[in-house]
Amino acid sequence: FTTTQRHHKFGWSFSVVFCEKCHQVCIESWDHLDLVGHLPVGLVTRNSSLHKVIGIFLDDTNACISLVDCTEADLIAQFNDVMFDKPLWPAFCVNPSEKITVELKIKTGQEINYMPVHLLPI
């Protein structure tokens, strides 16, 4: 679905947005209503493209959710003290913009081969 909201007040979110401050595409990470991460990922010029693979790793052993830039093998944000005793209801959305187009593909199982090994818990 699409929304004008960049985050959700009842959960953890990340948004790929055209940032008016940076004048480029940025990834924002939200812990409920708090902006906890802001990562510029690339300049946008007419007819340019940027390809990013973002992984979401649910770690019930360490009670955290990690957002991973699998393209650059880097950690974007980590949400700690996550309770996994209740069901998680994942929701994915794209913030519409006339400046950028974002394509969302959800991959599972054997389609996932980009998770950097050094970012996985031991």
The 10s digit of each residue's pLDDT in 37-78 is 888 887 767 667 777 778 888 888 888 888 888 788 888 888
Domain membership flag for residue 16: yes
Domain membership flag for residue 96: yes
CA 1 → CA 21, 47, 103, 107, distances in Å? 25, 25, 12, 17
Confidence of residue 118 (pLDDT cuts 50, 70, 90): low
Confidence of residue 113 (pLDDT cuts 50, 70, 90): low
Length of the chain: 122
Counting the structural domains of the chain, the total is: 1
Domain membership flag for residue 2: no
Q: Which structural domain, as residue segments, surrounds residue 19?
A: 12-103
In the chain, % helix, strand, coil (3-state, to 5) comes to 5, 40, 55
Q: Where are the alpha helices (DSSP H) in 10-116?
A: none
